[in-house]
Amino acid sequence: MSDSDLEAFRAETRAWLEANCPPEMREPIRDEEDVYWGGRNATFKSEAQKAWFEAARDKGYTVPAWPKEYGGAGLSPAQAKVLREEMAAIGARPPLSSFGIWMLGPALLHFGTEGQKQRFLNEIARGEIRWCQGYSEPGSGSDLVSLQTFGEDKGDHWVVNGQKIWTSYADKADWIFCLVRTDKEDKYRGITFMLYDMASEGVSTKPILLISGNSPFCETFFDDVKVPKSYGEDVPAYVGEINRGWDVAKYLLGHEREMISGADGGNTGTIGAALARANGEIDPVLRAELAQFDVDTLAYGAMGEKFLDEIKVGKAHPAQPNMMKYAGTELNKRRHELMMAAGGSHALEWESDETSGGKLSRGWLRTKANSIEGGTSEVMLNVISKRILDLPGA
């Protein structure tokens, strides 16, 4: 696509956003209800949220880079970048957020059958099914491949027993993509990447109360859950091959790390000026820390841009997402430490209206999980050592 075509697309996109993104949807996200997740039981917080979601859905802009036949808009990487830039320019919220978009979708695009893509990708793009991810177990955190949840082969179905933990929004999800052991003899080649309905008999969830006072994560229990091997012609209930789910999981972890790292352009803004404005006098040593942070975050923003540019043309090192995840999450923790420091006693308020129910302090505590979930910083450093620096025995 020529530059002039791209500029025409930019003008078109700008006009479309102007016409379809309501002003309320250009306000910063304040709380969980401002995020629209879709799903069977979804409700809209406002008419504006509904209008924005429906306009984006009909245009394919919930998943702009996915092919049109799967509910996307079929945008090229360059066009998708233009759309991201134009949305960022007006502060447009994502019309739909979901683990289906971020994680299952990319896995299906890569490993899925045509039948799976037709069904599941369209459901995700249209916000009809809300997915959750079943990876971690109480005994399998950083060492994920040791997972024990077992699916016993019963011919045309499995019977799944076990427990997952840190399942994000499992209590609100419709379906789960879940790593289940199907061969106890082979650690790496004994895991299947299964897809099944959370309404199945024997599935139960229990929210986990976190230090932030919120419960975005659950424990998820499977007691004799019957999972059929197929949902119809060309729609197997697993992604990739049986016993080869670890390949899919590794692929997806790459995506998760990119997402958490904020490589999509989120969380790279500077904070010094806004904190100084909001909080009045800033201690000179804190000002210096803020300046150092702003340097680091602007530099990381350039890294994110470079990383995405390189991914598009296959120039990025395959293990580079680990580095992005490490640097991005450590930076985000620092960001919130500084926001707390600048906010003083105001930032300590846990329930007040002025702080939207303790958004600052709860947000600060939430960020402590950034460098744990999706692979700890220590695991990221191990992977960089081994796969990029080629250090021995890691």
Partner 1 sequence: MPLYFDDDQTMLADTAGQFMAEEGSIKNQLRHWRDRQCKDGFGHALWRQFAEMGFTGMLVDEDDGGLGMGQVEANIVLEEIGRNLTPSPFLSSSVLAATALKHGSNDVKGRWLPDLISGEKVYGVAIDEGRKHRPERIACKAEKSGNGFKLSGKKDFVVYGASSEMIVVAARTSGSDSDKDGVTLFAVPQDASGMSHDSVRLVDSSMASHVTFDGVELDGDAVIGEVDGGRQVLDAMLVAGRVGSAAEGVGVARGAMDMTVDYIKQRKQFGKIIGEFQALQHRAAHLYSEVEIARAVTVKAAQLVDGGSEKADLMASVAKAKVAKVAGLAVREGVQMHGGIGMTDEYDIGLYMKRDRALQEFLGDQYYHAGRVAEMSGY
Q: Are strands 175-181 and 131-134 parallel, antiparallel or unpaired?
A: parallel
The residues binding partner 1 (CB under 8 A) are 270, 272-273, 275-277, 282, 287-288, 290-292, 294-296, 298-300, 302-303, 305-307, 309-310, 312-313, 315, 320, 323, 326-327, 378, 380-382, 384-385, 388-394
| Percent of the chain that is helix, strand, coil (3-state, to 5) | 50, 15, 35
| Residue with Cβ nearer partner 1 (97 or 382) | 382
* C-alpha–C-alpha distance, residues 263 and 273, integer Å: 23
| DSSP H or E stretch at residue 157 | strand 157-168
**Min dist. Cβ of residue 268 to partner 1 (A):** 11
**Taking a C-beta distance cutoff of 8 angstroms, is the pair 231, 376 a contact?**
no
**Min dist. Cβ of residue 389 to partner 1 (A):** 5
* C-alpha–C-alpha distance, residues 253 and 102, integer Å: 11
| Residue with Cβ nearer partner 1 (13 or 320) | 320
**Min dist. Cβ of residue 170 to partner 1 (A):** 32
| DSSP H or E stretch at residue 194 | strand 191-197
* C-alpha–C-alpha distance, residues 177 and 29, integer Å: 27
| Residue with Cβ nearer partner 1 (209 or 313) | 313
| Residue with Cβ nearer partner 1 (114 or 378) | 378
| Residue with Cβ nearer partner 1 (306 or 346) | 306
**Min dist. Cβ of residue 23 to partner 1 (A):** 26
**Min dist. Cβ of residue 373 to partner 1 (A):** 19
**Min dist. Cβ of residue 391 to partner 1 (A):** 4
| DSSP H or E stretch at residue 176 | strand 175-181
List the beta bridge partners of residue 176: 132, 196
| Residue with Cβ nearer partner 1 (113 or 377) | 377
* C-alpha–C-alpha distance, residues 184 and 146, integer Å: 10
| Residue with Cβ nearer partner 1 (240 or 374) | 374
Q: What's the number of CA atoms in the CB half-sphere (13 Å) around residue 112?
A: 22
**Min dist. Cβ of residue 331 to partner 1 (A):** 9
**Taking a C-beta distance cutoff of 8 angstroms, is the pair 66, 121 a contact?**
yes
**Taking a C-beta distance cutoff of 8 angstroms, is the pair 128, 39 a contact?**
yes
